[in-house]
A and B are shown apart, each in its own frame.
Chain A
Amino acid sequence: MFDIKTLESYQAIDNKLYQVMDAEGKLVIPKWKSSLDNDQIVQAYRDLLFVRTADMMAVAYQRQGRMFTYPPNLGQEAIHIAAGLVMQEKDWLVPAFRELGAWLAKGVKLSEVFLYFRGHEDGSRFQEANRVLPVAVPISSQLLHASGLGYALNYQGENAAVFAFVGDGGTSEGDFHEALNFASVWDAPVVFVIQNNQFAISVPLAMQTRSKNLAVKGIAYGMESIMVDGNDIFAMHDVLSFARDYAVTNKRPILIEAVTYRAGAHTTSDDPTKYRTSEEEEEWAKKDPVLRLQKWLTRKKLWDVSTEEELIAGYRKKIDAEFEIAEHYPEYNIDDVFGYLYEEMPDELKRQKNDYMNFINSSGGVK
């Protein structure tokens, strides 16, 4: 449990990291109790395995030439699964682009994620998921949308929070600072989560900032700020639960820095061997979030590792089926290019589309 008293002893300015269990899955806070019951924890572990499997398969699909650029989540999954456990139906999710588990928790279909990364906007329509935004490619700009959503929640009298994600590199962007400031001045209930995965593509954190950590940046904007071990799902869940309650009850934003490591490449187009060492990667692999929960569960006799292979095989079938939906999605046609810019298509666009169609009709289908 993380409460307002815990907050007093985890002030960002003191550079103190909130952690519940260490890399061996052993509790570092004596007598710590989760607000999750054992069944929920086991389910969270299954979700971690599912997301990790889906993520690794996504990279494989890309390598097979069946998908375009994809940003792997490897190593950061605990943050997303914890957020998924905390977010309520009325809460908004404002992702960056590396939050697969949080998306799925909000009801986004895996086939939609695959469709998007296969290169189709229909993957961002999110047929059955509400209050969740699509990938935001320009860094940090999505945080301002979160602050505006927070204003709207207050204006419309709703008791809900906005969960907004950004990376460590994103904290250098002006929009990061504007978003924190607007949310604070407006008393917007936004939980800002920085996923500090140590690298912005190839640029290490030391070249982004001279702040002692990233959470301290919230202090200047008058908001509570907490640094948490992002590879520790218990710590993440504690802090995000507290943050949501805090934001909704006090109508205030709060900043969380989740310290983690991007174990994979930035995207499938990136080659991390150019900018980091295998020693560093191995060091972080020991702190892996999935492995860590597995150790805790095994020690508690809540999990039998020998069942995992079969479980994952089942997941793989399910994930392949989702990918098939994306792969066999209807052909991208010209209405997909023109049809969604405005509620009603202006004559000028109709004319341009018509010109193109006249060519297609005369060329026998050659584009």
Chain B
Amino acid sequence: MKVMNLVQAINDAMDIKLQEDKSIVVYGEDVGVEGGVFRVTEGLQVKHGKERVFDSPLAESGIAGTALGMAISGMKPIIEMQFDGFAYPAFNQIISHIARFRNRTRGKYSVPMVIRIPYGGGINALEHHSESPEAYFGHTPGLKVVIPSTPYDAKGLLIAAIEDPDPVIYLEPKRIYRAIKQEVPEEKYQIPLGKAKVISQGEDITVIAYGAMIREVQKAMVLVKEKGISVQLIDLRSIWPIDRDTIGAAVRQTGRALIVTEAQQSYGPAAELISVINEEAFLSLEAPPKRLTGFDTIIPLPLGEKHYMISPQRIAWEIEKLVNY
């Protein structure tokens, strides 16, 4: 075991896989010499060579589209979109081709690749650097979308994503890149895609969150514990496929559900989760499931982010309201 933060855990996962599988290449903007703007790929080029870990021209559609060409000819690219908001130029390639090539060719060609995207707000960044685009990808047939919230999950999910035969969008909650440290096994292990995790058992309410919001919910849990409220916390981990069974079972136990996402509300992941809850746990519900999400606004520049980002106090307030409904 070794203490790692998320950045180190993600780096470690790529390092292990690069070592093990020569068909893997890692590329994107600044991922080579610089090791990525967040240093997630630091040291990988020196260790694995410039043919396998390299800087590409600055063009996201180009990065994604060329990765498809590599993937269908037996390679396994791990590409990086430098920031969430910079992934949008790659949308056409991701949605129109990467997600569809297996279906289009009836499985003659498959697209095993991982698209890594640092995402989310709370880091005092410029515009286009704080987006939560998971709903776009989760809405797209043919993709899998995962988000870790701990270093342990970050490593295991990324290894599973790299070994998956289909394209996986791997969203990295950049706000907690270095904020959470944890003991992580040095060897290889996988965390299955499509499986949520029960982080803590509780009786009064189920809170479902993912990514950087997990830590905020945990802070809120401390606040409500003082008032005698016990929270069952679920880390969704996989935006799609969605783990219907775990969510249904959890809400059937507590009868109350709060969804916390940084992503905007309308047509977002929280709406999807509430649909699942209605389908799977309707007769157990003691209160209408509630979503606490980003506003349906543009995420503000740093000085305004305090209004948009969801605080532990606000989560605690919503938990109390639901428990006392």
Contacts of B25 in A (CB 8 A): 155
Selecting from A79-87, A98-106, A137-145, A314-322, the interface stretch reads: A137-145
In the complex, the answer to whether A151 meets B70 with C-beta atoms within 8 Å is yes
CB contact between B244 and one of A179, A182, A347 (< 8 Å): that residue: A347
In the complex, the answer to whether B110 meets A144 with C-beta atoms within 8 Å is no
In the complex, the answer to whether B69 meets A124 with C-beta atoms within 8 Å is no
The answer to whether B225 has its CB under 8 Å from any CB of chain A is no
The answer to whether A365 has its CB under 8 Å from any CB of chain B is no
The answer to whether B62 has its CB under 8 Å from any CB of chain A is yes
Q: How far is the CA of A3 from the CA of B109 in the complex (A)?
A: 36
Contacts of A150 in B (CB 8 A): 69
Q: Could you give, for residues 87-106 of chain B, a 1 whenever the CB lies within 8 Å of some chain A CB and a 0 otherwise?
A: 00100110011000011111
In the complex, the answer to whether A147 meets B108 with C-beta atoms within 8 Å is no
Q: Could you give, for residues 141-163 of chain A, a 1 whenever the CB lies within 8 Å of some chain B CB and a 0 otherwise?
A: 11111111111110110000000
In the complex, the answer to whether A151 meets B110 with C-beta atoms within 8 Å is no
CB contact between A155 and one of B75, B107, B110 (< 8 Å): that residue: B75
In the complex, the answer to whether B74 meets A122 with C-beta atoms within 8 Å is no
8 Å CB contacts to A: which residues of B4-51? 25, 51
Q: How far is the CA of A347 from the CA of B194 in the complex (A)?
A: 9
Residue in chain A with minimal CB distance to B99: A341
**Residue picked from A92, A122, A346, most chain B C-beta under 10 Å:** A346
In the complex, the answer to whether A141 meets B65 with C-beta atoms within 8 Å is yes
Q: A148-B66, A342-B142 are in contact. Are A155 and B51 (CB under 8 A)?
A: yes
In the complex, the answer to whether B66 meets A151 with C-beta atoms within 8 Å is yes
In the complex, the answer to whether B102 meets A341 with C-beta atoms within 8 Å is yes
CB contact between B61 and one of A122, A175, A342, A351 (< 8 Å): that residue: A175
Q: A141-B96, A152-B74 are in contact. Are A340 and B69 (CB under 8 A)?
A: no
Contacts of A151 in B (CB 8 A): 66, 69-70
The answer to whether B165 has its CB under 8 Å from any CB of chain A is yes
CB contact between A126 and one of B71, B97, B108 (< 8 Å): that residue: B108
Q: How far is the CA of A341 from the CA of B241 in the complex (A)?
A: 12
* Min CB gap A101→B, angstroms: 21
8 Å CB contacts to B: which residues of A319-367? 340-344, 346-348, 351
Number of interface residues of B (CB under 8 A): 45
In the complex, the answer to whether A346 meets B194 with C-beta atoms within 8 Å is yes
The answer to whether B199 has its CB under 8 Å from any CB of chain A is no
The answer to whether A134 has its CB under 8 Å from any CB of chain B is yes
Contacts of A148 in B (CB 8 A): 65-71, 73, 77
* Min CB gap B118→A, angstroms: 22
In the complex, the answer to whether B69 meets A341 with C-beta atoms within 8 Å is no
Residue in chain A with minimal CB distance to B242: A348
In the complex, the answer to whether A126 meets B110 with C-beta atoms within 8 Å is no
The answer to whether A185 has its CB under 8 Å from any CB of chain B is yes
Q: How far is the CA of A6 from the CA of B165 in the complex (A)?
A: 47
CB contact between B142 and one of A175, A181, A341 (< 8 Å): that residue: A341
Contacts of B61 in A (CB 8 A): 141, 144, 174-175, 178
Q: How far is the CA of A125 from the CA of B62 in the complex (A)?
A: 25
The answer to whether A121 has its CB under 8 Å from any CB of chain B is yes
**Residue picked from B65, B105, B142, most chain A C-beta under 10 Å:** B65
Number of interface residues of A (CB under 8 A): 42
Contacts of B245 in A (CB 8 A): 347
In the complex, the answer to whether A340 meets B102 with C-beta atoms within 8 Å is yes
Residue in chain A with minimal CB distance to B55: A185
In the complex, the answer to whether A144 meets B68 with C-beta atoms within 8 Å is yes
* Min CB gap A202→B, angstroms: 23
In the complex, the answer to whether B102 meets A141 with C-beta atoms within 8 Å is no
* Min CB gap B75→A, angstroms: 5
In the complex, the answer to whether B66 meets A348 with C-beta atoms within 8 Å is no
Residue in chain A with minimal CB distance to B56: A182
* Min CB gap A335→B, angstroms: 11
Contacts of B70 in A (CB 8 A): 148-149, 151-152, 155
CB contact between A348 and one of B59, B93, B109, B241 (< 8 Å): that residue: B241
Q: How far is the CA of A250 from the CA of B279 in the complex (A)?
A: 60
In the complex, the answer to whether A149 meets B73 with C-beta atoms within 8 Å is yes
In the complex, the answer to whether A178 meets B92 with C-beta atoms within 8 Å is no
Contacts of B97 in A (CB 8 A): 136, 138, 141-142, 145
In the complex, the answer to whether B106 meets A121 with C-beta atoms within 8 Å is yes
Contacts of B141 in A (CB 8 A): 341
Contacts of A134 in B (CB 8 A): 104-105
The answer to whether B185 has its CB under 8 Å from any CB of chain A is no
The answer to whether B166 has its CB under 8 Å from any CB of chain A is yes
Q: A155-B51, A341-B141, A343-B165 are in contact. Are A182 and B62 (CB under 8 A)?
A: yes
Q: How far is the CA of A72 from the CA of B104 in the complex (A)?
A: 21
Q: How far is the CA of A145 from the CA of B102 in the complex (A)?
A: 14
Q: A126-B105, A341-B103, A348-B241 are in contact. Are A179 and B72 (CB under 8 A)?
A: no
* Interchain residue pairs with CB less than 8 A apart (19): A125-B106, A142-B97, A144-B62, A145-B97, A148-B68, A148-B73, A148-B77, A150-B69, A152-B73, A152-B75, A155-B51, A174-B61, A175-B61, A178-B62, A179-B62, A186-B66, A340-B102, A347-B245, A348-B241
Chain A to chain B: the 8 pairs with minimum beta-carbon distance, closest first = A148-B69, A144-B65, A148-B66, A178-B62, A346-B241, A149-B69, A125-B106, A145-B69
Q: A148-B68, A149-B70 are in contact. List 16 more A-B contacts (CB 8 A).
A: A124-B104, A126-B108, A144-B64, A151-B69, A152-B75, A155-B51, A155-B70, A156-B73, A178-B57, A178-B59, A182-B62, A185-B57, A340-B102, A341-B103, A342-B166, A348-B242
